C-alpha cells in the first residue's frame, strides 16, 4: 500500500496505549496525494450531471479520499426537485423553487443494492466467528427453505451470486408475509450452480440464514456489528424522513403504486418485506460510507474499532468477491483492473475501493427522481477514470 506524504498512514495510539487505525479527516487533494486539477474537473462534471431540464440525476453527493484524508466532499443539485411525474409529458412536475430541497453533503440516500455490501460483511463476520461455514449448505441452517436445501445451495454461492437463483421474485404482489416467505422458500434455481447470475434472492436467503443462525434480525446485526462500532450514526434501515427523494412510483413503469417516495425504501420487494431486506433498505450519507470504505481499506479497523480481521477483509475481496464486484470498468472506469472492489445501487448510488492505491470514490445520486430510466453508468465510470488519473497525476 503506498505511503502518503506526511505519514498519513501512521497509526494512532488510543487511550489504552494500543495502536488503532487512523480516522478520516478533512484535507486537500494535495494532502491526500491526489491531483487537484483532475478532482476539480470531476467536481465540475458532477455538477453538470445535475443541471438542465432532464439531468442525469437531480442531485448528487461526491466523496473522494485517499488514506485517511477526505480530498473532496461536494453536494450538487436537489434532494427534492419534483412533486410528481407527468407521464403524458414524459417529464417531472417541478416544485416551485422555494419548495425544492437543496442537496447537502449530509443528505441521506436510499442505498438500494449497496445494502448488499453490509449484508455480506455481516455474513463474513459470522464466518470469522465460526457461526457460519462459507461452504456449508444453506439447508443445514434453513431446512425449511426446501428448494435451496434440495439443490445443495451453499453460503459461498449466495455471496458470489452463483446459486443459479433467478434475479428476483414479485414478492410485492403476494398479499401477506406468509405467502411471500413461502414463495422464497420454494423458489428453485433457474440455472446451473456455479454460473454467475446476479440475484436479489441470494441476499434475501442470506438474510434469513444470518437471522436463523444468530437469533438476531438483520437490522440489529448491521447496527451492532458495523454501524455502531464505526460511529456511522446516519446509516440504518428506513424510514428516513430527510432522505433524498426517489421515484413517483406507479405502474406500469414501477411494480407498485406508491406515489412520490422520500425516506421510504424504493425497492418494491424490500418495501413489501417491511423495509429491512438483505438486498436493499439501508439509507446512508456520503460521510458515513467514507468511514465504511476507509475501514475496509484499512483491513477492517477504524479508530479503536475492528469489525473484521484483515484475513477476512481479504476473503471479501478474493475473486470473484463476496458481495462486492471486482474490477468492473462499466462503473469503475479506469479504477478497474488492479483489484478494485465496489457496487452500484438502482437508485443511482455507487462506491469503489481502489485497494492498489488506498483510494475510495463514493457517488450518491437520486437518479430515479422523478422516475426510473434505462440504467446508464457512463457517469460513474467517468468519475472512476477521473479519480484514477488523479492518483497517477499526483
32-65 pLDDT, tens digit each:
999 999 999 999 999 999 999 899 999 999 999 9
Task: Sort 178 into a burial class: Cβ within 10 Å, 0-12 / 13-18 / 19+.
Answer: exposed
Question: What span, in angstroms and rounded, lies between the C-alpha atoms of 394 and 378?
Answer: 24
How sure is the predictor about 71, in pLDDT bands with cuts at 50, 70 and 90?
very high
Q: Which of 345, 339, 332 is nearest to 296 (CA)?
A: 339
Residues 6+ positions from 17 with CB-CB distance below 8 Å: none
- Say if residue 251's pLDDT is above 60: yes
What average pLDDT does this structure show over 55-79? 98
Q: What is the pLDDT of residues 84-102, one digit of tens each?
A: 999 999 999 999 999 999 9
**Can you tell me the distance from the alpha carbon of 161 to that of 196, in angstroms, rounded to the nearest whole number?**
6
Instruction: Give the pLDDT confidence score for residue 15 in this predicted structure.
Output: 43
pLDDT at 193: 79
Distance CA 117, CA 278 (A): 9
Between 375 and 17, the more confident residue is 375
Please state whether beta strands 25-26 and 69-80 pair in parallel, antiparallel, or not at all (unpaired). parallel
The model's pLDDT over 167-218, given as tens digits with 9 standing for 90+, comes to: 999 999 999 999 999 999 999 998 777 889 999 999 999 999 999 999 999 9
Predicted TM-score (pTM) of the model is 0.94
Point out which residues pair with 325 in neighbouring strands: 342
Note the pLDDT of residue 5.
33
Please give the average per-residue pLDDT across 321-349, as a whole number. 97
Distance CA 378, CA 347 (A): 15
Q: How confident is the model at residue 80 (pLDDT cuts 50, 70, 90)?
A: very high
Higher-confidence residue: 195 or 158?
158
More confident residue, 67 or 8: 67
Task: Compare 15 and 276 and report the one with higher pLDDT.
Answer: 276
CA distance 284 to 282: 7
pLDDT score, position 4: 34
Q: How many CB atoms lie within 10 A of CB 215?
A: 8
How confident is the model over 2-35, as pLDDT tens digits? 333 333 444 444 444 455 789 999 999 999 999 9
Q: Structural domains in the chain?
A: 12-120+219-392 (3.40.710.10), 132-216 (1.20.58.710)
H/E stretch holding 249 reads strand 245-249
Q: Check: CB of residue 115 under 8 Å from CB of residue 278.
A: yes
Q: What is the mean pLDDT of the chain?
A: 94
Note whether 269 and 169 are within 8 A (CB). Answer: yes
63: nearest Cα among 339, 367, 292: 292
Instruction: Give the mean model confidence (pLDDT) for residues 101-113.
Output: 98
Amino acid at each position: 500500500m503506498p505511503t502518503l506524504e506526511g505519514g498519513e498512514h501512521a497509526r494512532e495510539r488510543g487511550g489504552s496505549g494500543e495502536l488503532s487505525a487512523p480516522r478520516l479527516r478533512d484535507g486537500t487533494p494535495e494532502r491526500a496525494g491526489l491531483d487537484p486539477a483532475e478532482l476539480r474537473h470531476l467536481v465540475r462534471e458532477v455538477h453538470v450531471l445535475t443541471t438542465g431540464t432532464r439531468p442525469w440525476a437531480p442531485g448528487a453527493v461526491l466523496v473522494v479520499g485517499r488514506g485517511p484524508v477526505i480530498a473532496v466532499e461536494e453536494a450538487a443539485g436537489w434532494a427534492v426537485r419534483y412533486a410528481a411525474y407527468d407521464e403524458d409529458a414524459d417529464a417531472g412536475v417541478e416544485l416551485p423553487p422555494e419548495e425544492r430541497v437543496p442537496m447537502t453533503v449530509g443528505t441521506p440516500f436510499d442505498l438500494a443494492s449497496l445494502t448488499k455490501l453490509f449484508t455480506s460483511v455481516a455474513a463474513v463476520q459470522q464466518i470469522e466467528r465460526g457461526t457460519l461455514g462459507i461452504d456449508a449448505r444453506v439447508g443445514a441452517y434453513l431446512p425449511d427453505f426446501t428448494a435451496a436445501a434440495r439443490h445443495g445451495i451453499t453460503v459461498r454461492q449466495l455471496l458470489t451470486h452463483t446459486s443459479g437463483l433467478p434475479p428476483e421474485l414479485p414478492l410485492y404482489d403476494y398479499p401477506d408475509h406468509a405467502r411471500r416467505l413461502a414463495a422464497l422458500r420454494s423458489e428453485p434455481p433457474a440455472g446451473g450452480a456455479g454460473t454467475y447470475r446476479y440475484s436479489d434472492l441470494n441476499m434475501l436467503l442470506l438474510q434469513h440464514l444470518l437471522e436463523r443462525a444468530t437469533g438476531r434480525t438483520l437490522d440489529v446485526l448491521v447496527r451492532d456489528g458495523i454501524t455502531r462500532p464505526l460511529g456511522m450514526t446516519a446509516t440504518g434501515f428506513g424510514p428516513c424522513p430527510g432522505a433524498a427523494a426517489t421515484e413517483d412510483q406507479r405502474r406500469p413503469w414501477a411494480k407498485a403504486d406508491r406515489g412520490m417516495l422520500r425516506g421510504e425504501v424504493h425497492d418494491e420487494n424490500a418495501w413489501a418485506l417491511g423495509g429491512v431486506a438483505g438486498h436493499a433498505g439501508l439509507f446512508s450519507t456520503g460521510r458515513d460510507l467514507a468511514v465504511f470504505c476507509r475501514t475496509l481499506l484499512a483491513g477492517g479497523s477504524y479508530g479503536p474499532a475492528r469489525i473484521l480481521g484483515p484475513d477476512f477483509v481479504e476473503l471479501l475481496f478474493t475473486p470473484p468477491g463476496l458481495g462486492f464486484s471486482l474490477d468492473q470498468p462499466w462503473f469503475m472506469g479506469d479504477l478497474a483492473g488492479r483489484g478494485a472492489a465496489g457496487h452500484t445501487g438502482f437508485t443511482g448510488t455507487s462506491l469503489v475501493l481502489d485497494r492498489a492505491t488506498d483510494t475510495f470514490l463514493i457517488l450518491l445520486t437520486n437518479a430515479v427522481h422523478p422516475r426510473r430510466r434505462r440504467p446508464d453508468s457512463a457517469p460513474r465510470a467517468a468519475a472512476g477514470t477521473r479519480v484514477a488519473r488523479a492518483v497517477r497525476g499526483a
